[in-house]
Structure 1
Amino acid sequence: MTNYRTAAVRVAGAGAVAAVAMGLFSTGAADADTFVPLPDGQKLGPGVTVSRTGEHAIVSPSLAANGAGRVVWVSGNAVADVTATPEGEVGPFNGPANEPGSNNSSTHGASQLNTGYIVGCQVSISDEAISAELAGGLGLTLPFGGSEVVPDGAFEGAIGLDLGPGEVKFVQIEIKDITEPGIYSVEYQDVEIAIQGCAGYAQARAYTVVEIIGDNYSKTSLYGMPFSIG
């Protein structure tokens, strides 16, 4: 069986362009891994261009073979090209200031790039669902819209999710502080997400959020294409 069990993260340049397709590594095998290439994306925001390239996923039935589990390995490259941000100094988190331009947001003293995945069980995570259920954008470190943020640390092993019907959770791959203008990149390869408890269909999609601090606070969110995890 193909070994995709190693999770690793490294900072690097843009990855290869991926076309939308789906195929099996082992044609005819009931438990074959499924390779899912995913399209690139880009979004312009105040003082930043957010992009994602080279994204793909490898979906496999769970080794538990209980019908409620599956495993996906995700890879991609998230980049923030920041042209305008106040020079930040990373410090403790502060609560919302409620001042003009603050968007009632907390900050830890620096702008930030945050990337990961939204995973849902028997619930739509389409653009319409995100607009309706997650109005205002993704929270960077706190649960948002009744969902749960799973802390990073995937680089030491698999991320395990207990996901019931109708639940959505956010799997945080990496956060990178932005202390001055420049290009910030997070490349991740074969990060393993193991899902248990979801007897119905499951979906996932990438998210990348860039938060720019300052008097004119902004949050730019780029979502990837939803894909099935079986």
Structure 2
Amino acid sequence: MKNHFLSRRAVTRSAVTAVAIAATLPLVTHGVASADTSTRLPAQTVTKKLADGSSITIARTNESARINPSMGGTPLHRNAWVSGRYTLSASDPKAKVGISAGYIVGCQLTLGANSTTDGTATAKSYQDISPETATVTAKTGAGVTLGPGQAANYYITDVEYKDAFGGKANTTSVSFPGSKGRLAYTNETMMINGCAGFAQARSYAKVQVTTESASQIVDVYGKPFSIG
């Protein structure tokens, strides 16, 4: 993992705050969407052992979602405003950590191994969906059109930096200068169009850890919640 974009005056989007701090944090639940429905998602802390014997602790807290129909006012349109915070802490004080975070939104897909379809004839079970297998990728704040069985990957991290030639470049990975870090975001927006059936969303984070003898990416997922 490289940290050059933070050391070269990387700028995150205004809604995202990335600060190095000490760790502790939580995760997710579930809610049924209707006009202006607020969903409070539970906390989770995960500790993962790395190949060199060190470990990384990833905590998610303050996660919430507010869901309502879009200004289009039809069942085919809906919006979600999401907020949350991640705290990272590596046991090796010389380690470097980073994070890429976002949400997966599925139209008539059940997200997660513990989910089941709701009986809708066209519902599909896609239990292993990931950011890489999503149908479309977009920044939060953008609108996407999804049909049955399709999914969108909305990423909340967007860092600008100068590449080796001085040109403007972007990455979805935020790197921290040491073994601890925090990422917070507030009211990031996801706009879904065209989904006539039920829709679900779930948060995810890809955490990069680099030590003197190991480099690893750890994936963590939140619990799915309904967006209508």
TM-score tier, shorter chain, comes to 0.5 to 0.7
Aligned to 1:94: none
Q: CA deviation at 1:19?
A: 8.3
Specify the SS of the correspondent of 2:132: coil
Q: Deviations over 1:4-63 (max 9, x none)?
A: xxx833346789978857589xxxxxx630010000012112231111001010000111
Question: Is the CA contact (8 Å cut-off) linking 1:85 and 1:212 kept in structure 2?
Answer: no
Indicate the larger mover: 212-221 or 49-58. 212-221
Aligned to 2:105: 119
Structure 2: state its 5+ residue gaps. 1-13, 116-124, 158-172
Q: CA deviation at 1:74?
A: 0.2
Question: Is the CA contact (8 Å cut-off) linking 1:15 and 1:54 kept in structure 2?
Answer: no
Q: CA deviation at 1:179?
A: 4.3
Q: Distance in 2 between matches of 1:54 and 1:228?
A: 18
Question: Is the CA contact (8 Å cut-off) linking 2:25 and 2:86 kept in structure 1?
Answer: no
Q: Distance in 1 between matches of 2:134 and 2:84?
A: 27
Which of 50, 59, 62 is the aligned partner of 1:51?
59
Question: Is the CA contact (8 Å cut-off) linking 1:86 and 1:179 kept in structure 2?
Answer: no
User: Residues 25-44 of structure 1: matches in 2 within 5 Å?
Assistant: 32-44=35-47
Q: CA deviation at 1:220?
A: 1.2
Question: Is the CA contact (8 Å cut-off) linking 2:113 and 2:128 kept in structure 1?
Answer: no
Structure 1: state its 5+ residue gaps. 1-6, 25-30, 89-110
Q: Distance in 2 between matches of 1:16 and 1:161?
A: 31
Q: CA deviation at 1:148?
A: 3.3
- Classify 1:35/1:49 alpha carbon distance in 2 versus 1 (closer, same or farther; 3 Å): same
Q: Distance in 1 between matches of 2:17 and 2:185?
A: 6
- Classify 1:82/1:145 alpha carbon distance in 2 versus 1 (closer, same or farther; 3 Å): same
Pair 1:10 & 2:17 matched: yes
Q: Distance in 1 between matches of 2:111 and 2:93?
A: 31
User: Residues 9-158 of structure 1: matches in 2 within 5 Å?
Assistant: 9-11=16-18, 20=29, 32-45=35-48, 46=50, 47-84=55-92, 111-127=97-113, 133-134=128-129, 138=130, 144-145=132-133, 147-150=135-138, 152=139, 154=140, 158=141
Question: Is the CA contact (8 Å cut-off) linking 1:119 and 1:203 kept in structure 2?
Answer: yes
Aligned to 2:168: none
Q: CA deviation at 1:163?
A: 1.5
Pair 1:176 & 2:174 matched: yes
Specify the SS of the correspondent of 1:144: helix
Give the share of equivalent positions with the same residue, in percent. Answer: 29
How many aligned positions are there?
183
Q: Deviations over 1:161-209 (max 9, x none)?
A: 221110112111113113432x211111111111111111000011111
Q: CA deviation at 1:72?
A: 0.4
Structure (1 or 2) with the greater strand fraction? 2
Q: What TM-score results when the alignment is normalised by the length of structure 2?
A: 0.68
Q: Distance in 2 between matches of 1:16 and 1:86?
A: 22
